[in-house]
Structures are given as structure tokens and as C-alpha cells.
Structure 1
């Protein structure tokens, strides 16, 4: 039995993540149009109609843009906490009551051979939360959209086999960039997004002996670059005696091109 996943899309223009076992298949967020989501699924040779359900992290449009369309077209179960459901109410269009399920923060729900653990993050949404996937002896952690990584979060995600980890911006690029100051302040604040350096510092506290892959995710199109993010994270980790490319590797994600469907 295996755990497979793909980062379908990651960035400020839209986010979607796919995970499957032999028995279960989940989408986390649908932050692109319904048509784009169908294209992303086709590119990894999967079909939306076969999903067990969709997990929602929070109500921002780059995470739920296609949610209502997919829910209605494919009659899929949707899982979110109560505050997120309320915040999404006018953003998704009508979703049938029988498709709406509550997934409380800081809980574990079991779906056949897959256990899904939710945990809160620090972001300017109603009640944002992300997920850790447990399948037999494998652990996959998804964490983006947080202004910082607390000790509590680190405890939940520690020593995963693979991470999809926010590395949103280069602080200097953001400071000198075109964004108005109020947006810069939001991104840099405790309810914004973590920088390349802060992401690496958090990674250094959670990488364990089983960690093999770290995907740098939710990169800002205006305030970051793939090579810069990888270089910054690599430098910080190596300063902490964690050489990249030995025990674990750093991998890119993309706003439009899915990562390969990878088996843990």
C-alpha cells in the first residue's frame, strides 16, 4: 500500500494539492477555475469524479476559486471547519447540504486507510488550517499560508517523510517591490506568509531522519523566484549543518504545472 501525491498548483494565483492511497483520493483546495482543475488532473492521469472529497484550508480565493463548480459538477463531499464554511458561504455559490461536512481544527479523521490530521496556522482568514496525512508508516505534511511556524505547528509536522512547505517571499524583494506598504506589512506580519529564510529556520526544527523531500510552495510571483528560494533555503539549512541533497532534497512547485505524482 502506498501514499502518492502531487502539488497540482502552488502560488498566489491558485493552489491545489492531490493525495491518494489505494483506497482514498483527496484534493486539498481548488484555487483555480473548474476547467483549469480538470486540466491539472488530466496531466497526472487522474479524474475528479474519483475523489473521496475535497479538503479546504481557508476561504481565500486562491484556495477556493473552483470549489463551488467542482462540488456541483461532481457531487463531491467538501470538508472544512465551521468558521471557514461561514466565510465561504457567499463565495462558492450553492453547495448542497448533504455535501457539506465539518472537519474541526486540531482533530484527526480517518478515511479507510488514510488518517488526516488538521492543525491551525497563523493567517488572516476565519480559521485557517492545514493537514498532515498518515498512511501506514508514512507521513506527509502540508503547510503554507502562515505568518510564522509556532512550536505547536512544528510538533504536529515534525519528522514527516515529505513536506509541502511555504517559502513565499524574499524579504528584500518584497521591501523594495511595487506592493503598497499596507500589503507589504500584511505579508511580513504574523498573519501573512513566511519568507524563504524563516521557512528554512522552521524546516531545520522539523526535518527528521525520515525526511526525504521538501517542496517549496506558495512562492510569490512578484517577490520571489524559484532559484532564489532554493538558494536561500539551502544556505540557511547548511548553516545549521543540514546539507541539502544528502539525506533530503529540495524541490520546486509551480503555479501552473503539477509536480510528478510521487510515491512515498
Structure 2
């Protein structure tokens, strides 16, 4: 199993995942044209994409879903409430391309099993995914106000994580956002901070080689170096030294990561 984070941030999110039998996207929060361009940068295209798995209906996760569905005939998976919320936002999608993927269920597509789990975010029924193949595990968790024990139990012991590290609390509190927006981001249905993300990471990391991609960084309230430093320092206070068996990586809103083997 291999993956690339095509884009990650408040302006758009999409993750490409492949194995020897096909490829998948988690979210399509960029225009279809940009997703096709991002795929080209890693030497891939939409022609092998067998499905798009939607996490929730916010624009930075579904912007390109409708056009990609109509242009490439790709099946779209989302839970019932998310489908209802997306109607009117993504345009017409043929009935034979609309698939329901309920929260807390597992779908198997060839040798890959995709497990969905609920998160805490201000959308109708947000959920994220863990991809399993053989004994390898890729966990994707962003857009959540906190990481519950149940979430931790599902993502625990992954080999690779795409983990939200949205904001620095100090930057957010001192920044230009109105208080109502700050309160929403800091709430249990907002986004996790650098420090809170690291504390959650310390509970799910096992003593093995683990890759962590810090994702969904706020454009206004975070910086890559700051996120990495904050996560490193907080992990260290929890007894985990980054660089020994845990490796932290940046993601970007404009450039995809290299294809990584899980």
C-alpha cells in the first residue's frame, strides 16, 4: 500500500492511496483540474482511481467530488447524512455512482479493508478512515476537535498516520479571527492544536517504525516548523523521541508528498 497527500490545509484536502490492484482518494477538496494536476506530479492519474471516500461535506473536502464523478465515472462513498448535506453542493451524481458507507463499518475492496470511524467536528456526520492491507495500517484523522479514547482505539498501532496538527493556540488567540471563529476552532467540534495532537499521538504510537504526517495546518494560525517543533517537544515530554522510531513529516497545501509505502 502506498499513499501521497496531494494537498492538506484549510484551502483543500485530498489523499491518494494505491496498491497493486487499484487506487483511491480520500476527499477531493480541490478543483478536479487541480487534483488531476497534483496526481500528475506524482506520476499518477484518475484512470486507476476506483473510488473516492468522503469524510464530511465541508468545501475543503468535497470541492472536486462532483466534477470528478461525472468526468471519470468514479464511485463516491459517503454516509447517509453526508450525502444529504452534499446534495446541492456537488451537482448531479448518477445513482449507480452513489454508495453509502456508514460510520463504524468496514468495506473490503480487493486486498484493502477500509474502516470508518466517527470524529468530533461541526459537520452533520463526520468520519475518517483506516486503511488495512495484510498487517499494514494507514490511519487518517483530521478535522476533529479532540481525539477520544474510541478514536485512539481504532487508529492505535498504525504504521503511518495522517494526523491533524491544525493550530498553535497562542497564534490563534492573538490572531485576526473574530472570537466566534476562535471559539469554534478551540471547541470540541473544531480542530486539534499541535500540542493536543501530540498528546493523542503518544497514546497510539507503538514501539516500531512509525511515519506521522502533520496535516491540515491552518494557513493563519500555524507554521510547519512550529508544528513540528511543538509536536516533537510534547512527544518528548511523553517519553517519545522523534527521530528514533517515530518520524515526523510535513504536508503542504500546494505540493503533494512523495508516494510513501506503508
Query: TM-score, length-normalised on structure 2?
Result: 0.99
The alignment status of 1:144 with 2:156, answered yes or no, reads: no
Matches within 5 A, 1:244-263: 244-263=242-261
Corresponding residue to 2:70 among 69, 72, 82: 72
State which of 37, 40, 58 in structure 2 corresponds to 1:39.
Answer: 37
Q: Tell me how far apart the structure 2 counterparts of residues 212 and 24 of structure 1 sit (CA, whole Å).
A: 24
TM-score normalised to the size of structure 1? 0.98
The one of 100, 104, 107 equivalent to 1:106 is: 104
Correspondence for 1:27: 25
Runs of 4+ off more than 2 Å = none
Provide Cα deviations, 1:214-243, integer angstroms capped at 9, x if missing partner. Answer: 000000000000000000000000011100
RMSD: 0.6
Q: Is the 8 A contact 1:19 1:26 kept in 2?
A: yes
Shift of 1:210: 3.2
Q: Show the counterpart of 1:222.
A: 220
CA distance in 2, matches of 1:142, 1:34: 22
**Contact kept? 1:160, 1:211, Cα under 8 Å:** no
Deviation at 1:149, TM superposition (A): 0.1
Query: Conserved in 2, the CA contact under 8 Å of 1:11 and 1:221?
Result: yes
8 Å contact kept, 1:79–1:102? yes
Residues 78-103 of structure 1, C-alpha deviation per residue, up to 9 Å, x if partnerless? Answer: 00000000000010000001100000
Pick from 236, 239, 251 the counterpart of residue 237 of structure 2.
239
How many pairs were matched up? 262
Whole-Å Cα distance in 1 between the matches of residues 102 and 208 of structure 2?
28
Structure 1, gaps ≥5 residues long = none
- The answer for the alignment partner of 2:61 in structure 1 is 63
Question: Secondary structure of 1:52's partner?
Answer: strand
CA–CA separation in structure 2 for the residues paired with 1:95 and 1:49: 18
Query: Counterparts of 1:7 and 1:34 in 2: how far apart (Å)?
Result: 15
